[in-house]
Amino acid sequence: MFEYIKFDQEKGDNKEKDVVLLALSTCGFCKRAIAFLKKNRIAFRRVYIDKLDPEIKQQLKDDFQKKFHFKMIYPLLILDEKETVTGFTTEKYKNSFGITDTEEE
């Protein structure tokens, strides 16, 4: 999915799901989402949408909307190329990864 995008790979021990994070470089909630994933050692691929060339950014938005039938809301997790999690709250992310106990974000 999105083969034309160069993602930054974040290493982690938890590789149960294929995790893609679409984020904005200036977004506080995106930064909290990244911190959560790293803290919980979840492997993921990340791209900052606002740093993409305008044509690539538009193609990504169009392709995303065709596949998932809604517009992007950041941060945006895509799990196993089929499930999405929009925005960031600790509880949403815990539930998405089956984490029962973690410190606050």
Sorted by where each begins, the domain ranges of the chain are 8-97
The whole-number pLDDT of residue 104 equals 47
> Which residue in 54, 61, 48 sits closest to 6, CA to CA?
48
Question: Are the CB atoms for 7 and 45 separated by under 8 Å?
Answer: yes
The whole-number pLDDT of residue 80 equals 96
The whole-number pLDDT of residue 100 equals 86
Q: What's the CA gap between 83 and 11, in Å, rounded? A: 21
The whole-number pLDDT of residue 101 equals 74
Q: What's the CA gap between 17 and 29, in Å, rounded? A: 21
Q: What's the CA gap between 76 and 86, in Å, rounded? A: 5
The whole-number pLDDT of residue 1 equals 79
Could you tell me the fold of the domain covering 8-97?
Answer: Glutaredoxin (3.40.30)
Instruction: Extract the residue ranges of the chain whose pLDDT is less than 50.
Output: 102, 104-105
96 token code pair:
């998405």
